Chain A
Amino acid sequence: MSKTKFIIFRDYFVNDKVQTISLKAIKEDIQNGHFSKAFKTLATLSEPEHDFTLQSRYVALFQSIPPEELELKGLRLAILATSTVDHFIDVLKFWLAKQGFRVEVFSSPFDTVHQTVLDSTNALYDFAPEFVWFFNNYRDVTFSVSFGANQNECDTAINDTVKKFTELWKIIQKNLPCHILQNNVDLPNFRVFGNLEGSVAWSQTNLLRKFNLCLASASRSGVTIFDMEYLSSLFGKNSWHDARYWHHSKHAFSLDACGLVSSQVGALIGAGKRGGKKCLVVDLDNTLWGGVVGDDGLNGIQLDNGAEGEVFLNFQKYLLALKERGILLSICSKNDEDTARDVFLTHPDMLIKLDDIAVFKANWNNKPDNIRDIAATLNIGLDSIVFIDDNPVERQLVKKLLPEVVVVDLPEDPTSFIKAIDREGFFESLAFSNEDSNRNLLYKQNIIRSKHQNQFDNIDEFLNSLEMESEVGPVSELYLPRFAQLINKSNQFHLTTTRYTETQIRSMINNNMTILRYFRLKDNFGDNGLISSLIIKRQAKILFIDTWVMSCRVLSRGMEEFICSEIISMAKCLKSTMVRGKYLPSKKNKLVSSLYERLGFKLIKKEPDGASYWELNMKEPLPKISHTIKRTKSKDLDLENWR
């Protein structure tokens, strides 16, 4: 027995004494009733990589905060698991709180997934979850394939297995208006045939790999594959798979990975409910290239002259990939504008071009002001911006003055920039729409449009010159994803703050008491795509505007008036006596607080929660509504039959 053995004993948080102190401080804050401060510190302190002993401490502190003290939105999540998930759920609730949600979890009793789904009287269906998560692991997937089987036999076996999953999705989607998350399978950390498993179709390794691909191909709208295989690799398979815990308590993965899995699904659900971040505001010197162009000159900066420059080029490649994915890139740098632009225009190695940038701010103003300008120019909220800067002082200033903006704590070493951004899951998304990939173009066209506007004396002349055309139509499968995305992402131009999943909307398509309309807008600068979603409910002779959202890109162009006259035509066509609108104030939709008033509706009622109801009596003379937008393609609008 040697005394030195004591040294290997881990103290709690021995790697970070600050943590012990912080946790004590948080506990004191909670005891003194400073709940939101305590939660904020806890949220900043906790990292996905922290092990289970730490995560469970965060959970304990989080649970000692009365939930009503935090501004959290309710969210119902059902987890149908084939393994023990109790510890995971506690950690998950904390990480979803970090995303702004107070989660109520329904979990099926251990390994009763099929029974839960198939029994339509099951409590699952009363629970009415917004998300149903099929929490599977590799042990759930077996194939009847013999060693040496040919490709066809393997494919048949895989498809049979995939079908077992898709059948469950269908039942859920038929009965619940929810979004489905489906784990793909985490490949195990053993291979009966060793390396050979990677070369033949019939090995467990390759069957599982192909199963994951086929599961992804089989997924349909309303279903998102949750990539457990990626996470298990990211975590390290030897640590991820702890057979001891599987055999003794049926934990499918290491408890130490709870933080990672929770943070990832949190980012995904957060993005799905709220919309992900839209714009990345990037500094230049020592962020996009090495060195300071104002001091070192165009030839002195590091950009592909050896290892150091290559790191920045690689970072630029990552940013360009994000741009292709639909994230707006903007520049915010303290530089002379010409010097900064010159690098983009003339440096031969520069990958990002001026054309890739939505808004370019190189000046000596303070960065918070510049970021505010960028948000205003792009017409997006500050809370959809992520700020990237190597300078901790600038970061601190932005954090302080613009708390809504997410500031990435960039590591000193530029080789870790990508990892620092990527791990946060800012740009998660439940689905991908065409508008995502065209977003950069759309916003750029908008900036050109506003420059064009300056050439006109009055707004009508300008609007006329745009030669706008709007396409109106009912919602089909083709438009469903974008229609839903717009409703779920819009905050500013959203009169009633409703949110609907694709499945919920699909069920409205076939209900003739509900009228769904999408609006696209085109002008001579380009196509804005689908920019407004409208859900109208027929209540006897009244048309009630249940949901009206519009992209802020097309504000002040007469689109509101156009849509309103469309609603009036509907009312005429259906011989309705009244059009009723509602405005429910939220933190972000002040923009439309007087919309109905502007359109000539009469205020009839104001509720204590601030909700106001507005009416347009179809029997009285209707207000004059003017716009310059031409209406196109109304052939599939079939209201006549509904009278």
Chain B
Amino acid sequence: MRQEIINKMNTIFCEVFDDDSLKISDNMTSADIDEWDSLNHITLVVNIEKVFGLKLNLSEVGKLENIGEMIELIFKKINL
């Protein structure tokens, strides 16, 4: 199931940053993607909420260190 989430996340990243060749990995951060600024961050969060059908606590999202932790958070939310 974690892999499913990763795949979905990858699609979202490709869409939001308009780059079909983008491959996400656990230790990736906003520093690794040029276009990942505070504006695109919001777009990203809105997309994640829509695709996974959940509402995120934005304080929690702000504390995440990398994509891996983001995926972990989604994984936890889905399995509540």
The chain A residues found within 8 Å of chain B, CB to CB, are 1, 5-6, 8-12, 51-53, 56-57, 60, 86-87, 244-245, 247-249, 251, 255-256
Contact = CB atoms under 8 A, between A and B. Distances in A.
Nearest to A6: B4
Contacts of A51: 50
Contacts of A249: 38, 42, 58
Contacts of A11: 51
A256 B51 CA distance: 14
Contacts of A256: 46
Interface string B1-33: 100100010010001101000000000000000
B78 interface: yes
A52 B53 CA distance: 14
B53 A8 contact: yes
Given A8-B53, A9-B53, A11-B51, 6 more contacts: A1-B1, A6-B1, A9-B8, A9-B51, A52-B46, A57-B15
A52 B56 CA distance: 16
Interface string B46-76: 1100111101111100100000000000000
A10 B52 contact: yes
A123 to B, nearest CB: 21
A388 B69 CA distance: 54
Contacts of B47: 53, 56
13 contacts: A1-B1, A5-B1, A5-B78, A8-B53, A10-B52, A87-B39, A87-B43, A244-B57, A248-B59, A249-B42, A249-B58, A255-B42, A255-B46
Interface centre among B51, B56, B79, by most chain A C-beta atoms within 10 angstroms, is B51
B13 to A, nearest CB: 12
Per DSSP, chain B at the interface is helix
A588 B27 CA distance: 60
Contacts of B59: 248
Contacts of A52: 43, 46
B1 to A, nearest CB: 6
Nearest to A86: B39
B54 to A, nearest CB: 9
B32 to A, nearest CB: 20
A5 B46 CA distance: 20
Given A10-B53, A244-B58, A248-B59, A87 B42 contact: yes
Nearest to A10: B51
Contact of A9 (B18, B38, B42, B52): B52
Nearest to A255: B46
A248 B62 contact: yes
Contacts of B56: 244
B80 to A, nearest CB: 11
Nearest to B39: A86
A255 B38 CA distance: 15
Contacts of B38: 249
Nearest to B12: A12
Contacts of B55: 244
B50 A10 contact: yes
A60 B18 contact: yes
Contacts of A255: 42, 46
B47 to A, nearest CB: 5
Contacts of A60: 18
Nearest to A52: B46
B50 A53 contact: yes
A118 to B, nearest CB: 28
A256 B55 CA distance: 14
Contacts of A53: 46-47, 50-51
Contacts of A5: 1, 78-79
Nearest to B55: A244
Contacts of A86: 39
Nearest to B8: A9
Contacts of A56: 16, 43, 47
Nearest to A249: B42
A60 B78 CA distance: 29
Contacts of B50: 10, 51, 53
Contacts of B8: 9
Nearest to B79: A1
Contacts of A247: 58
Contacts of B18: 60
A575 to B, nearest CB: 62
Given A57-B15, A87-B39, A248 B53 contact: no
B11 A12 contact: yes
Contacts of A12: 11, 15, 51
A9 B57 CA distance: 19
A560 B8 CA distance: 67
In order of increasing CB-CB distance, the 3 nearest A-B pairs are A248-B58, A53-B50, A244-B58
A540 B11 CA distance: 67
Contacts of B79: 1, 5
Contacts of B57: 244
Contacts of A244: 55-58
Interface centre among A53, A87, A247, by most chain B C-beta atoms within 10 angstroms, is A53
A247 B61 CA distance: 13
B53 to A, nearest CB: 5
A249 B47 CA distance: 16
Contacts of B43: 52, 56, 87
Nearest to B11: A12
Nearest to B57: A244
B76 to A, nearest CB: 11
B7 to A, nearest CB: 10
A51 B59 CA distance: 23
